[in-house]
Amino acid sequence: MGSGESSAVANETETRIGHPYAVSALPKLEEGSVGLVAPQRLVFQEGLTLASGVHLAPIEVAFETYGTLNPTRDNVVLVCHALSGGAHASGKHHPDDRKPGWWDLYIGPCKALDTERFFVVCVNVLASPYGTTSPMSTNPATGKPYRLEFPEICVADWVELERRVLEHLGIRHLHAVVGGSTGGMRAFEWAVRYPDWMDKAVVIAAPARSSPMVIALNHIQRQAILMGLEYGGEEGAQRGLALARMLAHISYLSEDALWQKFAREPHTDAEYWKVLYQIESYLEYKASTFLQRFEPYCYLYITRAMDTFDLGTTYGEGDLERALARVQVPILLVSFTSDWLFPPSGQDEAAQILRKLGKSVIHEVIDSPWGHDSFLVERVKPQLKPILKAFIEE
């Protein structure tokens, strides 16, 4: 952390004096880690009635928390993970874990989501393979994994399950809900579905409704998995998932980022139809590691939930303005210039409607070559951290 950033943190700490959420301990000036954390688990035997009307039971949920819930239970920040993320957002499970949680850059002492002040909760979504009930869970009706018998799910179902977990923890109100990508969709859905449940919402790299480009890219990814399944069974589905992940991966990057990272660098061990260039080798590598940690069936369900995300349809009978009129709290929208999956134009649409409605909205467009994934990229932190921290702590 550069000295410029340290002093910015120091200043923010000063302005914190007398702030309702200030903790009694002396404020730290340097970022720290939440350290070792334990995965947590809940089972709702009674399950949940999904937006589709189907009742799913039982439901197991994986979640994690960082920081301390204060006695008045009003220092809670809900963090919403993206497609391939999970509840493990910060710290490590074991000292020898190679990597910390997916948003360790932003969750911890003195970080953008300061765990000295806030109690941060992250809940793994339905259909994700990281501990929450998913197509890989056992269907009690058959004794076998659900696979394609798993019910259709949508972003609202994810929000409902998050709310169940919060209520179980005795939480009835959020200081903030924060999310990026599909997590940003959840944050947005929270702000519209439960407008009096929070003080503020942060939507990073996500629009108020999925674009036809997102649907198109997801369609191809799903068809790759389904084709693999049809021709090659479970192994084929894995191969299809590898294709899907490669396509998703380039949709998270950008033209500029690919030039900077790979240019036209040849691969040292070239094979004409397999890999001639480093970019190909990189995509294959990323796909192979993804196969070790994800499931084709989960991928199908989660991408379809992304596609059907449209706040206008769910809350405004097709009218986005009517849906966004439900929002009662300040919203921070953050876009990245080179994000072509969820481009700034999608957030601009929402920002313009919110402004027209007289809502409190800030739309920050961060100049970054790192595409959709910018909110996960360390080099973008100097730009994103002060924006997040100021909005959340203000």
Give the footprint of a second copy on this chain (CB under 8 A): 148, 152, 209-213, 215-217, 219-220, 222-224, 226-228, 230-232, 236, 239-240, 243, 246-247, 250, 255, 258-259, 261-264, 272-273, 275-277, 279-280, 283, 300, 304, 307-308, 310, 313, 340, 343, 345
335 Cβ contact partners less than 8 Å away, ≥ 6 residues apart: 205, 342, 343, 344, 346, 347, 348, 363, 364, 365, 366
Contact between 249 and 373 (Cβ < 8 Å): no
CB of 258 vs a second copy, minimal distance in Å: 4
Cα 99 from chain centroid?
18
Residue type, 152: E
Among the listed residues 88, 372, 373, 374, the single catalytic one is 372
Beta strand 55-56 with 48-49 is antiparallel
Question: Least distance from C-beta 289 to a second copy, angstroms?
Answer: 16
Catalytic residue among 128, 181, 254, 338: 181
Q: Is 62 exposed, middle or buried (0-12, 13-18, 19+ CB in 10 A)?
A: buried
Shorter beta-carbon distance to a second copy: residue 154 or 388: 154
Given the complex with a second copy, which of 93 and 286 has the nearer CB atom?
A: 286
Strand 76-80 relative to strand 119-123: parallel, antiparallel, unpaired?
parallel
Residue (7 or 345) nearer to a second copy, CB: 345
339 is catalytic: yes
Question: Looking at beta carbons only, is 114 or 310 nearer to a second copy?
Answer: 310
Q: Which is nearer to a second copy, 223 or 360 (CB)?
A: 223
Phi/psi region, residue 179 (left: phi>0; alpha: psi -120 to 50; beta: rest), is: beta
**Dihedral sign from CA coordinates of 28, 387, 183, 47:** positive
Task: Report helix, strand or coil for 239.
Answer: helix
Nearest in space to 16 (alpha carbons), one of 91, 102, 154, 116: 116
Residue of 104, 307, 310, 339 marked active site = 339
CB of 167 to a second copy, least distance (A): 30
Nearest distance from residue 262's CB to a second copy, in Å?
A: 5
Instruction: Write down the least CB distance from residue 343 to a second copy, Å.
Output: 6
When the beta carbons of 272 and 358 are compared against a second copy, the nearer one is 272
Quote the least distance from Cβ 145 to a second copy, whole Å: 17
Cis geometry, peptide bond prior to residue 58 (ω within 30 degrees of 0): yes
Has 372 been annotated as catalytic?
yes
- Long-range contacts made by residues 4-9, C-beta under 8 angstroms, separation at least 24? 5/382, 5/385, 6/30, 8/386, 9/110, 9/389
Residues taking part in catalysis: 181, 339, 372
